[in-house]
Amino acid sequence: DAGVTQSPTHLIKTRGQQVTLRCSPKSGHDTVSWYQQALGQGPQFIFQYYEEEERQRGNFPDRFSGHQFPNYSSELNVNALLLGDSALYLCASSSDFRLDNEQFFGPGTRLTVL
Amino acid sequence: SQQGEEDPQALSIQEGENATMNCSYKTSINNLQWYRQNSGRGLVHLILIRSNEREKHSGRLRVTLDTSKKSSSLLITASRAADTASYFCATPRGADGLTFGKGTHLIIQP
């Protein structure tokens, strides 16, 4: 049984560009959450998708958007990249959109903005 | 905004010793979760303790929860080199999702 997978592993972009990150949840999970983790910090919640809709959203600008597909996989899009968007982006899946159970995290995508 | 705050920020102990790290939080919770992260990669879930539980064990891990003090502790007994990692506590906060602290960086010296 495959766990949570993310692609790509690493990504280098320049300021102003746009990026799309992808996540496939653990088998049997229907809820996907995205987190941004800056160096030396804990993960910060970006948003959560359940039943193909954004259910909850953290304190992130509209440049951050997402999508969930019928097979529960998800994408995170970031437009007009800033240097401060450089971080590890983590995807987590669960079977409970209320976050009342453990979250299964993917290995992350390391985004560097130059 | 941060909900949990781990203490200490960093901890270095000898292999075989016990490691204790603490987490304080600000608002009432349904549950509190502990995660481990190796070398800036994905997080691994360790233990979830619910608000009506006071203590939980999993292998060499022991977690306590004191809702009156809004605090939790994670004890790792008989530490091993492979326990070297960052440890985070996290609580679900409705629209704010799962909220993490800054973590405790644990180093196990051989």
- Mind giving me the DSSP string for A19-39? EEEEEEPPTT--EEEEEEE-T
Interface of A with B in 70-89 (CB under 8 A): 88
Query: What is the torsion angle, in degrees rounded to the nearest 10, for the CA atoms of residue A82, residue A76, residue B42 and residue B20?
Result: 70
Where does residue B26 fall: left (phi above 0), alpha (psi -120 to 50 degrees), or beta otherwise?
alpha
Residue in chain A nearest B97 by alpha carbon? A45
Are A36 and A95 spatial neighbours (Cβ–Cβ below 8 Å)?
no
Amino acid B3: pLDDT: 61
How far is residue B39's CA from residue B53's CA, in Å, rounded to a whole number? 31
How far is residue A88's CA from residue A38's CA, in Å, rounded to a whole number? 6
Q: Which chain B residues are closer than 8 Å to A35 by Cβ? A: 97-98
pLDDT band at residue B5 under the 50/70/90 scheme: confident
Residue B25 pLDDT exceeds 70 = yes
pLDDT band at residue B1 under the 50/70/90 scheme: very low
Domain chopping of chain A, boundaries: 5-108
Nearest chain B CA: its distance from A113 CA (Å): 18
Q: State the average pLDDT for chain A.
A: 95
Domains identified in chain B and CATH numbers: 5-109 (2.60.40.10)
Average pLDDT of B33-45? 91
Interface of B with A in 53-72 (CB under 8 A): none
Per-residue pLDDT of B82-99, as tens digits, reads 999 999 999 988 777 889
Q: How many residues comprise chain B?
A: 110
Q: Which chain B residues are closer than 8 Å to A76 by Cβ? A: none
Are A41 and A51 spatial neighbours (Cβ–Cβ below 8 Å)?
no
Cβ-defined contact of B96 to A58 (cutoff 8 Å) = yes
How far is residue B3's CA from residue A112's CA, in Å, rounded to a whole number? 27
Residue in chain A nearest B30 by alpha carbon? A100
Residue A2 pLDDT exceeds 80 = no
Share of chain A above pLDDT 90, in %: 90
Amino acid B83: pLDDT: 97
Nearest to A109 by CA among B105, B42, B38, B85: B42
CATH dotted code for A5-108: 2.60.40.10
Q: State the average pLDDT for chain B.
A: 92
Amino acid A16: pLDDT: 98
Interface of B with A in 6-35 (CB under 8 A): 30-31, 33, 35
Amino acid B39: pLDDT: 84
Residue A97 pLDDT exceeds 90 = no
Write down the residue that tokens 């004890």 correspond to: B75
Average pLDDT of A25-41? 95
CA angle centred on B21, ends B16 and B22, rounded to 5°: 160
Q: What one-character-per-residue DSSP string does B29-89 give?
A: -SEEEEEEESTTS-EEEEEEEETT-SEEEETTEEEEEETTTTEEEEEE-S--GGG-EEEEE
